[in-house]
Structures are given as structure tokens and as C-alpha cells.
Amino acid sequence: MSKIVNIDWKPNKKSNEPVYKQIVNYMNKKVASGDWAIGNKLPAQRELAKAFNVNRSTVVMAIEELKSYGILEGLAGSGTVVAENTWSILMSSNETNWGSHLESGYFMESLPTIQTINEYEFVDKIRRLGTGEMSPKLFPKEYFNNALRKLSGEISSLNYLEPLGLESLRETIAKRMRSIGINANPKNVLITAGSLQALQLISICMLKKESTVYCEVPSYINSLRVFQSAGMRMKGINMDGEGIQYWNMKEENTNYDSVLYTIPTNHNPTGTTMSLNRRKELYSYCKANRIPIIEDDAYGELTFDKASPNTIKSIDESGMILYLGTVSKSFAPGLRIGWVVGPESVIERLGDVKMNVDYGASSISQLIINELFVNGDYDKFIVENKSRLRRRRDIMLNAMDKYFTEIGRWNIPEGGYYVWTELKDKISMEALFKNALSKKILLNPGYIYDIRNKNKFIRMSYIYLDEDEIEVAVKDLSIIIKEMKKS
């Protein structure tokens, strides 16, 4: 038998609020708080009138209103019960309704496909064939634990840090930057919570609304809303095998308010590395046209068989390049550590805003990564891990040769994470995404990086799946595509 709820309250007859409304609010709260559970029964109307010390007609009015919201329902033979309708509680409640606020912030919501990807990445047994982070199996547990062990004996506080980040880490990073030809001292370095935060800070501090952000097309940046949300216009520039075709950046910006965002090394998603020559030409062009450059070097340490070409920043004597580094792709994204290298005035301004945003990147992460840089384990891991990444790449390329030759073409990445695959025939990428999901394969459809080519490209990655899972996933995907083409 269902429980009959207990009435422990009476309306205030002296209040300006009608008595029946007070009863509605009381019952509403009891249901919303969970004190009254779904299926609980209300006392008979006569008893309710007595408990509330009101007329029966007042009780009837309150119950009818709650029935109209779906909160109560009258069941033949069992009186009035609490109904199964939590949504109507939200809608009828007098509490703050967040719905109207959700749309009013300036930051745009993620693309629906990205939202789905973000959600499915955590679904059990999902095969992440497009993902941009390393398999947990590649995580350097031993190096990491050694750093933790050492730090556990040393850390005596975890207070906030200097506005630009841990001094010793900035020194270490400045030294690392100098070792790759970038002229930097600690005052030129701001530690951020990943390079994504660096982009966010740059967009809110330095770029004007309605200015143009040039980028490669396709580009990782198109999968984000950082610049668009701040009111900037994205302008995609085509690439060839040597990188961005900078000469197509038509100068329409008489106010000199355009910037270029580029990923010159092991580009996301195409895997392209810009040639040294193109880097030099691009730099001269941007300098002549006063287009500052944001150089995103997230995959710069991940070229397999040779050194990556010099960064564009290393050619820069004028301070017009902001260089972004991160440990996310080469070590561990969950540390949330990245850095910006730029002129002191810019770094100070970004650091000041960062203090307003989060008062600094995680102190513990900064200490850990500094230890790993200084004791040499970070660099050891990079070298060791390259051969694992190369082997995974080869497994994927072999599988692609076996199963995709008929249906697509792709790049041969020399580093980074991605095989950018172009299908020979267009197919509905949304349908493919869904069909793949039904076989537990999570894809990154190309349109999230280049909306112009909706139904042709897929970003595949060899970085997350186990070696023996890569071939099976590639094969299963090829079967899905071939079947879709038949129907």
C-alpha cells in the first residue's frame, strides 16, 4: 500500500498571498525536495482541509492546479497521488529558472557533434578512432610517480603562484625555448591551463571584435568557438603539401586588425608540416602586411624520424608572434599546462587577465612538470614514445591500405596523431557518424574542422586504441562505409 504523506504545516491566513496558492507552493516544495516521493498518497480532501485549517473548496482548488502541472494525479480508487513528472515541477516552481539565462552568455555553445563526442568518449567500450589524446596505456606512470615521490618530500605549501606562473618553471621553459632557437627569458613566458586557455586569453585581451582571424582550412580552431564567440570572423586559407597558401590572405584589413592562427607542425587535422621555406615566406608576408601570428606548436615535439623544422617564432625578431606550447599532446593533457611566449608587455597583460580568470594554473601541475623537465624524464619519454607512436601509425596505415584503398585517400603523417582521410565519394557524414556509433566506433567527422566539405573527410587517429584494436576498427569502419554506398 502506498504511503500517505504527513501534513506538518498550515497556511498563513494573514499573508497577502492567497491561501490556496500557499498550499500549492507547500506541496510543490515537498515534491521537489523529495520529501514526498512519486506514488505517495495525499490524505482525503476532508482530512487535508482539517490539517490545513481551510475550507474543502480551497483544498480542491490547490489540488486541481497541481494536477494541471502534472505534479499530482487522481487515480480512480486510490485518491490523489504524487505523479511522475519532474519537468513540470521545474516549470511551475517559483525557484530561479536558469533556462532564460542559459542563452544570454556571450560564449557560443559547442557544435552538436562535438558535444556528442565529448559525451561518448566516456562511454564504456567505445572505440575512439578519432580522438586527440593518448591512450592511458602510453601514460609514463613510472616517470610521473618518480616526480610525485620527489615532490611529496619537498612541497611545503600549495599557495597561489606569481601572476605569470611558477618562476622556476618559467625559467625552465625559457631555457627550453632558447634551445629551439626562440629568444626568451622568464618574463616572456606565461603559464596557462593548456594552450586552449592561451587562445581564450588572447581572444579576450588582444583581438578586436569583428577583426579577421585567418587560419588554415581545415583547422582544429574551427572545431572551437573561442574566436567566434568573441565576435571575430574566421577566414580559412587553403593549404598545400608545404602548408598554408599565405598569398591568398587578401589584405582587406585597412585597420590592421587581422591575425593569423597557424599550426605549422604536424597540423591538426591534416598532419601537414609546413616547410622551412614556407615558414620564412609566411613570416615575411605577415610582417610586411602587419598581421600578427599565433603559432600553435601543440604537436611540435612529435615528429617521428627527424627534427621538426624551426618554429616560425625562432625567425621572429619583431615580437609579432605569440608562440603557444603545451604538454597535452606529448605528455598528459590532464595536467592542463601550456604556455605563451611573447613580448613582455603582452605577457603581462595576458597574465593580469589570467589572474582575474582563475588566479593561475594549478600549482601542483606546475611543480610536477617542472620536475619532469629538470630531471630529464620528460625528454626521455618523448624519445621513447615516438617509436610507439610511429608503430601505431604504421599499423593504421597498413590497415588503411588493406581496407580503404577502394574508398578513400589519406596523408602519411610524419608525426602527430592524425590520418586525414578523404572519401572518394561523398556520403552523409552525419549518418556515418551515427552508424559508426551503433558499432561502438567514435569518429571525428571532417566537417567539424572544415564546414565547406561536409561529407568527404574523416579525422582518424592512431593514438588512443590499442595496437590490436586499430586494424579491427579501421576494417569495421570500411565495412560501414561500403554498405552505406550500396544502399
Instruction: Give whichever of 30 and 393 is closer to ligand PMP, judged by the CB atom.
Output: 393
Q: How far is the CB of 335 from ligand PMP (least distance, A)?
A: 9
Instruction: Give the residue from 239, 319, 312, 317 showing the smallest Cα distance to 276.
Output: 312
The CA–CA distances, whole Å, from 361 to 197, 351, 425 equal 10, 11, 46
Query: Which one-letter amino acid corresponds to residue 9?
Result: W
Q: How far is the CB of 439 from ligand PMP (least distance, A)?
A: 25
* Residues 48 and 8: beta-carbon distance below 8 Å: no
List the beta bridge partners of residue 261: 215, 294
**Which three-class secondary structure state does DSSP give residue 285?**
helix
List the beta bridge partners of residue 402: none
* Phi, psi of 277, rounded to the nearest 5 degrees: -60, -45
Q: How far is the CB of 329 from ligand PMP (least distance, A)?
A: 7
Q: How far is the CB of 271 from ligand PMP (least distance, A)?
A: 12
Instruction: Give whichever of 194 and 236 is closer to ligand PMP, judged by the CB atom.
Output: 194
Tell me the residue number closest to ligand PMP, measured at CB.
Answer: 194
Q: How far is the CB of 345 from ligand PMP (least distance, A)?
A: 24
Residues contacting residue 481 through CB under 8 Å, at least 6 positions apart: 407, 423, 427, 432
Instruction: Give the residue from 183, 203, 197, 267 showing the smallest Cα distance to 459.
Output: 267
Quick one: how many helices (H) and strands (E) in the chain?
A: 16, 17
Crossing angle, helix 344-357 and helix 194-205, to 10 degrees? 100
Instruction: Give whichever of 192 and 478 is closer to ligand PMP, judged by the CB atom.
Output: 192
Q: How far is the CB of 266 from ligand PMP (least distance, A)?
A: 9
Instruction: Give whichever of 52 and 339 is closer to ligand PMP, judged by the CB atom.
Output: 339
Instruction: Give whichever of 58 and 268 is closer to ligand PMP, judged by the CB atom.
Output: 268
CA–CA separation, 324 and 347 (whole Å): 12
Q: How far is the CB of 299 from ligand PMP (least distance, A)?
A: 7
Q: How far is the CB of 362 from ligand PMP (least distance, A)?
A: 13
**Which three-class secondary structure state does DSSP give residue 339?**
strand
* Residues 164 and 170: beta-carbon distance below 8 Å: yes
Q: Where are the alpha helices (DSSP H) in 53-135?
A: 56-69, 86-92, 99-102, 112-120
List the beta bridge partners of residue 244: 239
The residue with cell 625559467 is 171
b/e map of 240-254 (b: 16 or more CB within 10 Å)?
A: eebbbebeebeeebe
CA–CA separation, 164 and 169 (whole Å): 10
Instruction: Give whichever of 188 and 195 is closer to ligand PMP, judged by the CB atom.
Output: 195
Instruction: Give whichever of 161 and 298 is closer to ligand PMP, judged by the CB atom.
Output: 298
Instruction: Give the residue from 448, 450, 438, 447 showing the smallest Cα distance to 479.
Output: 438
Instruction: Give whichever of 448 and 477 is closer to ligand PMP, judged by the CB atom.
Output: 448
Instruction: Give whichever of 11 and 300 is closer to ligand PMP, judged by the CB atom.
Output: 300
Q: How far is the CB of 34 from ligand PMP (least distance, A)?
A: 39
Instruction: Give whichever of 194 and 271 is closer to ligand PMP, judged by the CB atom.
Output: 194
Instruction: Give the residue from 129, 125, 2 showing the smallest Cα distance to 432.
Output: 129
Q: How far is the CB of 106 from ligand PMP (least distance, A)?
A: 20
Torsion of CA 68, 70, 76, 78, to 10 degrees: -120
* Residues at the interface with ligand PMP (CB under 6 A): 132, 194-196, 220, 263, 268, 296, 298, 326, 328, 333, 338
